[in-house]
Chains A and B, each alone.
Chain A
């Protein structure tokens, strides 16, 4: 009897997770194969306590940009890995926005130690903007070490969001980029 109850509970939880992994927005935008693969990634992410919305958005972004199905799946998987690593660095209490910024920083080359150090240094100051500035500086051509040095230096001084934006202004020329 206990075994039957446990089996039913497991089936119920799996069905709930599978339902969570299905997003109606994907239906009209991805072919069935790509959608199924993306939903597998979403189910994995849900099991790890990661937010699904950034992953859904990555798939929609790929569809709108005309990326082929395998590339969309690869991008969603890569984001799931980056979000998972960001969660390791930022801790279980990190918000979805912080995880997204952390994933962008990791994608740009930040290590878990760097992300963790920013979190510890910033305390309640929020990590989204510093991590976003880091990713932006690397995307603009700075080396990971140089960008990290600049961002961590300001974080240690207790710089606020405005000062991080100023840092970005100083170190990276603006401009529309294709």
Chain B
């Protein structure tokens, strides 16, 4: 369950936001990552009797830009939708940017986002500022962050907090904008094709809005870009407070777009080569194989062929292999398909060849 939402009148704005988040990635899919979740399950509301059956959808995407001043800028976009039988759909969207430091295992980020959330005729503009730290510990990753979210009735006379269900008048108001601060944490563990995550969020403020939310989730990646996700927890009031907090449990599907799901990170597998949709070099048992290269001919040259072009032998599934085994050590290699340009397949280290191009470096054990 995502904490965002927007009114039906803001579909056009949400659409523009999504276009903004998607146009850039189309030109460089390798920098683009996104997930789309669809789930359903029961929810027991904090401030109402009975249970409802929720239907949720969420889409999040990010696009990494070139490094700037030693930082990694990242554009982010999120869209969420939640429906229940007797209420209008609650929706939300936001777009923003984040600056990440470039540590491999640890770092910090600063970010800001704007958006809107609400349901029916009630809507609120949202602004969020956040700062966080991340830390990788083996296969686990921990994120801690603090965020300040401001929202108000700037989008229309019927918007804002008037219809909210979480006693919003007790929130802090500044110049017509209401805000709250959240402390969040998330720990995720990835093993093979399974992911487990635990999130804790503490919303700060006066007693009526001071809440603690949590979620325990698990994802089973059935395919490189497709998995089953289940989650349970206690949500905070969402979508601009038009959806109250609830205890919930959902089961759904998760689609990975552009980025790499855990199953894809297992290098040296056919699944990775095929899912990457690009020629990928694999070395297993000293045998060189190029995966996912739908071509009529494929050639390789490298120090192991004295830089003479040698045809690769086709295998099934768009794979090509070099019949001779490679000797252990560091090797340089280029490949080409259908007589095209010599290139470096992914899976090889790309280095300057000294002739105005690049060569792939591989390490054979």
Contact = CB atoms under 8 A, between A and B. Distances in A.
Interface stretch (B36-44, B52-60, B349-357): B349-357
A33 interface: no
A62 interface: yes
A149 interface: yes
B104 interface: yes
Contacts of B354: 58, 62, 74-75, 78-79, 107
B265 A169 contact: yes
A89 B34 CA distance: 42
A64 B353 CA distance: 12
A171 interface: yes
Interface stretch (A7-15, A42-50, A97-105, A113-121): A97-105
A63 B306 CA distance: 10
Contacts of A71: 355
Contact of A107 (B267, B345, B346, B352): B352
Main secondary structure of the interface of A (DSSP, over half): helix
Interface string A120-133: 00000000110011
A165 B365 CA distance: 14
Contacts of A150: 102-104
A175 B352 contact: no
Contacts of B85: none
A159 to B, nearest CB: 9
A146 B30 contact: no
A168 B267 CA distance: 11
Chain A, interface residues (CB within 8 Å), range: 35 or more
B330 A61 contact: no
Contact of A174 (B67, B104, B280, B361): B280
A20 interface: no
Contact of B306 (A60, A166, A170): A60
Interface string B261-297: 0000101000000001011100000000000000000
Interface string B229-260: 00000000000000000000000000000001
Given A57-B332, A171-B104, A176 B346 contact: yes
Given A139-B358, A141-B66, A146-B70, A57 B307 contact: yes
6 contacts: A61-B355, A65-B355, A101-B330, A104-B351, A157-B105, A165-B267
Given A60-B308, A135-B349, 7 more contacts: A25-B306, A57-B307, A62-B354, A96-B329, A101-B330, A136-B351, A150-B104
Question: 10 smallest A-B Cβ distances: which pairs?
Answer: A174-B346, A173-B30, A75-B354, A136-B349, A150-B104, A60-B307, A64-B307, A57-B303, A97-B330, A97-B329
Interface of A: 25, 53-54, 57-58, 60-65, 67, 71-72, 74-75, 78-79, 96-97, 100-101, 104, 107-108, 128-129, 132-133, 135-136, 139-143, 145-146, 149-150, 153-154, 157, 161, 165-171, 173-178
